[in-house]
């Protein structure tokens, strides 16, 4: 994943290419290959005060230049309204994301490398600069940090409230611009010169495109000056941790070895699989004493639905069984009225229970965890009580009218609340309400009943197992009678809604094929797959609505309301490639030819993973060519589901996966 000089020195391309370094605590560093921040979320030191939430931006950027032979060569780039200054991107000859973001610069008589990394489990970021030529003359490197102190969704403006003093020690300096926020500590092997100033009117063009506040002022406390000589790196560390000292070389080597071990653990040489596998670690983060899953960067936290859709691809096919168990334990402890949380709010209030499907995805994930780990005792102790609470809650009825109807199917929905994964709400308008009986919810329900019946048998609860099988048979019969849309040759998206049945051609029906073998006939499955392939499939995912539909939105852009209105009305979602590939292989047979064909559906991600956020997969894409990436630049289920399908269905790793960290 290397970006060559041509692309690095093309400002438009270099600004559109992003990088991401996560720390396993909900914090991260991110930016563009050009070096300029184009989002309010781009930062060098962005930490989660209560991992993985309550995230604040503390160090936005550093202004860098080198001096040699009487010339000053900028390394950094900033974008202002109508101006770009400085223009360090013009000297960049290469960017690589491996093993961490690394830039190579070349100017008159100078070749140097710049590295940036976030050690896992630490609230800190390391920057290093090295000369590449052994015979180079010494050069002066100047680095000026740009600070703020704000919620990561906000922006900062010049203000009189900033505290401008610094605590300066030998190779250490700390700043504490705002009361109530962590102090920023810097370790360096140069010289620090205090000289506070404001850098005004920095322009975030992505935020402008999103219809949001796109201007920010940065406070700069001073400048670090280094003398760069061959064989000796300039080092600068930003952290919120209270440390007497910090050994940069030791931390870098430890992190290098950790990342090398991850690469060694990947049991295939397939390039796409290796890249997706490597990307998975970004989403596994700390919540209290356990692990959880960040749904996407830069702005999502841990969401129930996303967590359990992504869990098989993030943790199970990669052998991280202990992490999977911790995630299941974390959510099991929050089950309420038969529901797992859909979202842990970003500022620490009570979890939100506003989803009809997250709890059923939890049950599915428990089953997949048991399949891989064989941890029957762990499932019985931790997950089985939660599984029964979920099934019983749905049977008896829970929040938002979610309940098992007389026909055995799950219904739900109240005015003004969005419950399925198509969950946009603009003011009081729920864009895709899908009240009634959504097709994928029925597939999940039937699947959950099968899982519960099997577990009950293994735990000696025969009457409970019998009840689950009885409910499953009734739901399956009702599904077959109600959901097949003969006129179109596919499954209805929702039945028994407020205005009747909904025949919109959407991808949700794919889950009925991927999750269960009994809901449609083989002939029906093939009709569905061919229609979805013709009208919904793109090289990077499945459209959420057929292009022929009058509501179809070809692009995801404009104001907040315009974008939200398009979110599930034609926008392409790459995570849907996972169930599509699963359904394809299940329907057409597990032969080498079928698996080769299924693999082709995922090939479009190979090109994308080197664009957008390098090494990651975006949340969504425009519904029409050229399918520009949109939304979160890195999304958990966009990585996890294609990876799961590659391993489980395409068979990239046929011999099984060893447990790994």
Burial class (CB in 10 A: 0-12, 13-18, 19+), 593: exposed
pLDDT, tens digit (0-9, with 9 covering 90-100), for 395-439: 999 999 999 999 999 999 999 999 999 998 888 888 999 999 999
Question: How far from the centroid of its chain's Cα atoms is residue 338's Cα?
Answer: 27
pLDDT, tens digit (0-9, with 9 covering 90-100), for 201-233: 999 999 999 989 999 999 999 999 999 999 999
| Number of Cβ atoms within 10 Å of the Cβ of 16 | 18
Domains of the chain: 2-259 (2.70.98), 266-650 (1.50.10.10)
Reported as a pLDDT band with limits 50, 70 and 90, residue 347 is: low
24-28, 91-95, 130-134: least confidently modelled range:
130-134
Distance CA 545, CA 502 (A): 12
Distance CA 490, CA 521 (A): 11
pLDDT, tens digit (0-9, with 9 covering 90-100), for 468-510: 999 999 999 999 999 999 999 999 999 999 989 999 999 999 9
Burial class (CB in 10 A: 0-12, 13-18, 19+), 486: exposed
Q: What is the mean pLDDT of residues 621-647?
A: 96
Residue 419 has what pLDDT? 95
Residue 434 has what pLDDT? 94
CB burial string 368-399: b at 16+ within 10 A, e below: bbbebbebeebbeebbbebbbbbbebbeeebb
Asked if 417 contacts 439 with a C-beta cutoff of 8 angstroms, the reply is no
Sheet strand arrangement including 172-175: 2-4, 92-96, 102-107, 110-117, 124-131, 234-239, 184-188, 172-175, 166-169
Reported as a pLDDT band with limits 50, 70 and 90, residue 657 is: very low
| Number of Cβ atoms within 10 Å of the Cβ of 479 | 26
Residue 661 has what pLDDT? 36
pLDDT, tens digit (0-9, with 9 covering 90-100), for 466-475: 999 999 999 9
371-380, 452-461, 579-588, 647-656: least confidently modelled range:
647-656
């Amino acid at each position: 994943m290397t970006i060559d000089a041509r692309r690095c020195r093309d400002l438009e391309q270099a600004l559109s290419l992003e990088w991401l370094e996560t720390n396993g605590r909900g914090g991260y560093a991110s930016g563009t290959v050009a070096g300029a921040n184009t989002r309010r979320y781009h930062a060098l030191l962005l930490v989660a005060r209560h991992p993985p939430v309550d995230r604040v931006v503390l160090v936005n950027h550093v202004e860098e230049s080198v001096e040699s032979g009487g010339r000053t060569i900028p390394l950094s780039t900033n974008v202002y309204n109508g101006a770009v200054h400085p223009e360090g991107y013009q000297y960049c000859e290469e960017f690589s994301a491996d093993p961490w973001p690394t830039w190579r610069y070349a100017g008159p008589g100078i070749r140097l490398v710049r590295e940036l990394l976030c050690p896992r489990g630490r609230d800190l970021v390391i920057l290093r600069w090295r000369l590449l030529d052994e015979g180079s003359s010494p050069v002066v490197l100047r680095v000026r940090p740009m600070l703020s102190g704000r919620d990561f969704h906000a922006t900062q403006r010049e203000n009189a409230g900033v505290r401008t003093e610094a605590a300066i020690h030998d190779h250490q300096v700390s700043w504490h611009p705002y009361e109530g926020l962590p102090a920023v500590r810097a370790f360096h092997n140069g010289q620090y010169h205090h000289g506070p100033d404001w850098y005004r009117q920095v322009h975030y063009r992505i935020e402008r495109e999103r219809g949001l506040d796109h201007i920010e002022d940065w406070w700069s406390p001073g400048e670090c000056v280094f003398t760069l000589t061959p064989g000796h790196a300039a080092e600068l560390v930003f952290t919120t941790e209270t440390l007497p000292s910090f050994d940069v070389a030791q931390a870098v080597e430890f992190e290098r070895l950790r990342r090398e071990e991850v690469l060694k653990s990947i049991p295939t040489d397939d390039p796409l699989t290796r890249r997706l596998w490597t990307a998975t670690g970004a989403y596994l983060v700390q919540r209290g004493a356990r692990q959880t899953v960040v749904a996407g960067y830069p702005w999502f936290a841990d969401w129930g639905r996303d967590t359990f859709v992504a869990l098989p691809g993030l943790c199970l096919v990669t052998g991280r069984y202990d992490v999977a168990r911790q995630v299941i334990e974390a959510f099991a402890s929050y089950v309420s009225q038969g529901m797992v949380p859909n979202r842990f709010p970003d500022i620490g209030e009570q979890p939100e229970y506003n989803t009809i499907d997250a709890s059923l995805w939890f049950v599915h994930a428990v089953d997949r965890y048991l399949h891989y780990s064989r941890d029957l005792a762990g499932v019985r102790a931790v997950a089985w009580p939660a599984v029964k609470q979920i099934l019983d809650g749905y049977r008896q009825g829970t929040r938002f009218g979610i309940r098992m109807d007389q026909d055995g199917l799950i219904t739900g929905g109240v005015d003004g609340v969005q419950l399925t994964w198509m969950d946009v709400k603009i003011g009081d308008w729920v864009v895709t309400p899908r009240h009634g009986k959504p097709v994928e919810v029925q597939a999940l329900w039937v699947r959950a009943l099968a899982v519960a019946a099997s577990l009950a048998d293994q735990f000696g609860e025969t009457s409970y197992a019998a009840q689950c099988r009885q409910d499953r048979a009734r739901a399956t019969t009702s599904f077959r009678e109600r959901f097949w849309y003969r006129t179109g040759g596919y499954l209805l998206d929702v039945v028994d809604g407020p205005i009747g049945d909904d025949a919109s051609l959407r991808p949700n029906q794919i889950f009925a094929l991927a999750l269960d073998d009994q809901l449609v006939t083989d002939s029906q499955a093939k009709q569905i797959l061919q229609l979805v392939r013709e009208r919904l499939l793109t090289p990077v995912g499945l459209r959420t609505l057929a292009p022929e539909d009058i509501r179809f939105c070809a692009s995801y852009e404009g104001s907040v309301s315009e974008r939200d209105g398009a979110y599930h009305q034609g926008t392409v979602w790459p995570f849907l490639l996972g169930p599509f590939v699963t359904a394809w292989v299940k329907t057409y047979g597990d032969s080498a030819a079928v698996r080769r064909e299924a693999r082709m559906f995922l090939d479009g991600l190979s090109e994308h993973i080197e664009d957008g956020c390098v090494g990651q997969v975006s949340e969504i894409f425009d519904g029409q060519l050229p399918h520009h990436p949109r939304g979160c630049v890195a999304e958990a289920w966009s990585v996890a589901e294609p990876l799961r399908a590659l391993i489980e269905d395409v068979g990239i790793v046929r011999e099984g996966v060893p447990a790994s960290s």
